[in-house]
Chains A and B, each alone.
Chain A
Amino acid sequence: MTEAKFEVGKLSVSASPHIRCDESIAKIMWMVNLALTPAALFSIYRFGLPALTIMAICIIAAVVTEYAIQKWQGKPVTINDGSACLTGLLLAMNIPSTLPWYMPVFGSVIAIAVAKHTMGGLGFNIFNPALVGRAVLLASWPVAMTKWPTMQSHVDGLTSATPLGILKLQGYAKLVEVFGDKMTMYKSLFIGSRSGSMGETAALLLILGGIFLIYRGYIKWQVPVVMIGTVGVLTALFGQDPLLHMMSGGLILGAFFMATDMVTIPITVKGQVVFAAGAGALTVLIRLLGGYPEGVCYAILLMNAVTPLIDRGIKPRKFGARR
């Protein structure tokens, strides 16, 4: 007897029995955490104990908030699925390591309580919780949030602007001068010896983590490639240094780990490409024309807001339906 089997693109529909795959929310979330670990460890190595402290504070605050809210609402407590831990870790990667303790706590609580649980919890949030936490922190303590520890020395309290900040305020020539020459600049951007928030400096390790996630099939390669590519193409068109723009700021972290958040981006690959291109274009707009030196966070949040529209616009055709 032949089994009835239809091939619809890559989706194969077949009669039961089916093999159950062992993927679960918890497994995926912990894998993403794992993919972030090398970059996190690198930032602890680079920024020292404060980085570790901030990460621990963010994660603990996020998990405790999630526990408290789910207990209070009488819902099943899901702190073991790693999603709150991931939100905390991502938030920590997005902020400078020089913040006093209460700021990351505030950010984590807002991220979990307001951005996630007022919307109905995991899977229902419109905006990426970690990015909401960062946006709120940036609006709340603009001065503290834009002071970055330098990489060169391990002296406490020494701060400097990020490469993009220097670019915005003092121009390209000055930026090259800071690093010495162009090759050194690219190299230090790539391996992470520059100032910035905790998780955005180590481009190489972030890309490795991202490739791991793509290999496991948790994220589509199109999203980071299109987003970073859009930034590269557009900055080149505007006469800027595309390599610098592609490797600096939170772009790599955002493209691999936040523009690929399953909940807040479109469902179809086509939609995700639109999403990534839009986020890349907005990033360039904010960086070149806006008041902030860096715009990845707002770009992704804005695209999160139009995700339902993209999903509606790019509906997959029903099987057998005419165009």
Chain B
Amino acid sequence: MNYWAIFKKGLFEQNPIFRLALSLCPALAVTSNVFSALGMGMAVMFVITTNNVVVSIVRRWVNQKVRVPVFITIIATIVTLTQLVLEAFVPVLYKELGIYLALIVVFAIILARAEVFAMKNGVVPSFFDGLGMGAGFALAMLAVGTVREVFGTGAFLGMQVLPVSYDGPLILILAPGAFMVIGLMIGMFNVIGEYQNKQAEEKRKLAQLTMQRGEA
């Protein structure tokens, strides 16, 4: 099993937000600044990886019929742990994320990975799958957060990066701006994906052609 391939597919090919369009709620709600976006990304990355590992360990003893409640309980446990740790050590982030931290329990991408991957694979591949998906999620959050904070307020992580006279459109900080940014980014990812598919197709054709020539 190629662990790098498992890890890599979460970054671009099956990016949770931009390709699978799962867990759009946090991507809309907590990306108005880079700090909370990245914090949320990290928290989800931790939860999804841990959950994948736990689910993959216990999958043999879970009855098929009750698997979803079992998964949700596992996720809720891990999220509660994360919540307590963040409250104790990073209270600023805890306050910033607010209710969305507890809402990680119902993020579609976490249950989806447990169901689609961890349920059918061993511990180590599940770990890398969770790590890749989590990293893809965190990077997507970072991208959306960066665009919104830099062009909305002219700052990055609270530090002024554009000239002070920059008068950014407030709408990027508001919810409609999040919809627009995510929509345009999904479009961008589709364009890149299409281009890559075309390239792969051409390569395949070329290989076929050379093979035929070799035979002839």
Interface residues of A (CB under 8 A from B): 100, 102, 106, 110, 114, 118, 136, 139-142
Can you show 22 pairs from A to B with CB atoms below 8 A apart? A100-B167, A102-B167, A106-B169, A110-B180, A114-B180, A118-B183, A118-B187, A136-B169, A136-B171, A136-B176, A139-B170, A139-B171, A139-B174, A139-B176, A140-B169, A140-B170, A140-B171, A140-B172, A141-B167, A141-B169, A141-B170, A142-B170
Q: Which of B170, B174, B176, B180: most chain A Cβ within 10 A?
A: B170
Number of B residues near A (Cβ < 8 Å) is 10
Closest chain A CB from B31 CB (angstroms): 17
Seed contacts A136-B171, A139-B174; 18 additional CB < 8 Å A-B pairs: A100-B167, A102-B167, A106-B169, A110-B180, A114-B180, A118-B187, A136-B169, A136-B176, A139-B171, A139-B176, A140-B169, A140-B170, A140-B171, A140-B172, A141-B167, A141-B169, A141-B170, A142-B170
- The residues of A that contact B187 with a CB separation of less than 8 Å are 118
- The residues of A that contact B180 with a CB separation of less than 8 Å are 110, 114
Interface of chain A, main secondary structure: helix
- The residues of B that contact A141 with a CB separation of less than 8 Å are 167, 169-170
Q: Smallest CB-CB separation from A110: which chain B residue?
A: B180
Closest chain A CB from B165 CB (angstroms): 10
Interface residues of B (CB under 8 A from A): 167, 169-172, 174, 176, 180, 183, 187
Closest chain A CB from B196 CB (angstroms): 19
Closest chain B CB from A102 CB (angstroms): 7
- The residues of B that contact A142 with a CB separation of less than 8 Å are 170
Closest chain B CB from A159 CB (angstroms): 17
A118 to B179 alpha-carbon distance, docked (Å): 13
Closest chain B CB from A104 CB (angstroms): 12
A141 to B177 alpha-carbon distance, docked (Å): 13
- The residues of B that contact A110 with a CB separation of less than 8 Å are 180
- The residues of A that contact B167 with a CB separation of less than 8 Å are 100, 102, 141
- The residues of B that contact A114 with a CB separation of less than 8 Å are 180
Closest chain A CB from B185 CB (angstroms): 13
A114 to B176 alpha-carbon distance, docked (Å): 12
- The residues of B that contact A140 with a CB separation of less than 8 Å are 169-172
- The residues of B that contact A102 with a CB separation of less than 8 Å are 167
Closest chain B CB from A290 CB (angstroms): 18
A102 to B174 alpha-carbon distance, docked (Å): 19
Q: Smallest CB-CB separation from A114: which chain B residue?
A: B180
A139 to B178 alpha-carbon distance, docked (Å): 13
- The residues of B that contact A106 with a CB separation of less than 8 Å are 169
A148 to B135 alpha-carbon distance, docked (Å): 48
